[in-house]
Structure formats: C-alpha cells, structure tokens
A and B are shown apart, each in its own frame.
Chain A
Amino acid sequence: GIQVEQSPPDLILQEGANSTLRCNFSDSVNNLQWFHQNPWGQLINLFYIPSGTKQNGRLSATTVATERYSLLYISSSQTTDSGVYFCAVGRIIQGAQKLVFGQGTRLTINP
C-alpha cells in the first residue's frame, strides 16, 4: 500500500516562531488533506490540497503532486497551534476513496 511519511515527528518552538512540516508519499494520489488534532481528539480540517498552493491566515500549504510531497507552513505560532498535525492522502480503492494517514508531527508551542 501507499506509504506516507511526515517530518519532523516532534517540534518544539517558542511563540512567534515559524515552522514547516513535510509530508512525503510513495505513489500518486487523488486527494491530500492536512488536519490538526486538538488535545480532545477532534480532527480539524486545515487544507484540502491535492495540488497547488493555498493560504488561510497564518497557515499555508503547498502540494507538488509530481514530486509526491506536501508542505504545511505555520507562521507566527501561537500556543493554540499546539497539537498533532496529520497529512492524509487519498487513493481510490474498490471504487471508494481510502484516506491513509501519516504518523503525524507533534507540535508544541511554548509561551
């Protein structure tokens, strides 16, 4: 099956710092999503980005599908940005989309 690798696994930063999270995947995909999982377990949609670049406030993402990677940028970090960031890629299997998640990047923002 498809492999999804995220780096770094852990990241500790001071408030106000910028960061870049990376997601590599091993095969072509139909879908790529970035999520933030908060301490209560809720998966919050950040970006639906099979290709191209998108921005939403302090967050932006770029997916280069031909090179099989995606990047999530977080600028001017806040303590509320802490949590686990997942990249998930979608492939069509048996006529349905299967989302495969990476292992996640655990981000800690200290005040």
Chain B
Amino acid sequence: DTEVTQTPKHLVMGMTNKKSLKCEQHMGHRAMYWYKQKAKKPPELMFVYSYEKLSINESVPSRFSPECPNSSLLNLHLHALQPEDSALYLCASSQGLLANEQFFGPGTRLTVL
C-alpha cells in the first residue's frame, strides 16, 4: 500500500480564519513533507519532518505552522493567510530521509478570500 491521504480535498477560508490541513500515511515511513503548488507551476518544498522532528523549513512565513504529532500524521496549521497563498498543498512521505522514493497524497486545494 503506497497511499498518502489528505483532508480536506478543498478548503475555502477568509484571511482571518484559522484552519488545518491533515496528512496521514500508514506505510511506516519516517519522513514526511509539505509542498505548495501554484497553478501551472511545479510543486515547491515547504517543510521536511524526519522522525517527527522538523528537518527543513524553506523560509516559509510563520502564518504556516507545521506539526507532526506522530510518525503517521502531519498537520499544517493555517492562520491569517493572504489570497496569494491560494494553491494546491501536497503532502508526501518517504521511508527515510536520504535518497528514498517520495509518495504524494492527492492534495488540498486551498482558496483564500
């Protein structure tokens, strides 16, 4: 089973709202990732977690707050977003941190009004 699940599929929020995106995998993978993809652009890395610890933060604004409560679950907490943050947010996982194949979830399509 190479499935990564993400909820919700779609999310519309105002600039003053607080919301969270959820990602789950049950493949025993120890590394998890958040990517952001704007329309007609490639995905761009935001955060990397390894063994539930933050390994990489690609200078992401603090209005995006990641959390890894356990090895199967990754959250992205959103607060005071801007309309330009509207994008497809993709979660991925890999067995380990180094040179391993990454598997992606279906994404959450976020619209900020």
Contact = CB atoms under 8 A, between A and B. Distances in A.
B102 interface: yes
Nearest to A31: B99
Nearest to A48: B101
Contacts of A92: 98-99
Q: Which of A35, A40, A50, A97 has the most CB of B within 10 A?
A: A97
Nearest to A30: B99
Contacts of B97: 95-97
B48 interface: yes
B21 interface: no
B91 to A, nearest CB: 11
A64 interface: no
A95 B31 CA distance: 12
Given A43-B90, A102-B42, A104-B42, A97 B100 contact: yes
A94 B31 CA distance: 14
Interface in B45-59: 45, 48, 50, 55-56
The B interface, classified by DSSP as helix, strand, loop or mixed, is: strand
The A interface, classified by DSSP as helix, strand, loop or mixed, is: strand
A30 B102 CA distance: 13
12 contacts: A30-B99, A35-B104, A41-B37, A45-B104, A86-B42, A88-B42, A90-B102, A92-B99, A95-B50, A97-B48, A97-B100, A104-B42
Given A31-B99, A94-B56, A97-B94, 13 more contacts: A41-B88, A42-B107, A48-B101, A95-B55, A96-B48, A96-B98, A97-B31, A97-B98, A97-B100, A99-B102, A101-B42, A101-B44, A102-B42
Interface of B: 2, 31, 33, 37, 41-45, 48, 50, 55-56, 88, 90, 94, 97-104, 106-107, 109
Interface of A: 30-31, 33, 35, 40-43, 45, 48, 50, 86, 88, 90, 92-104
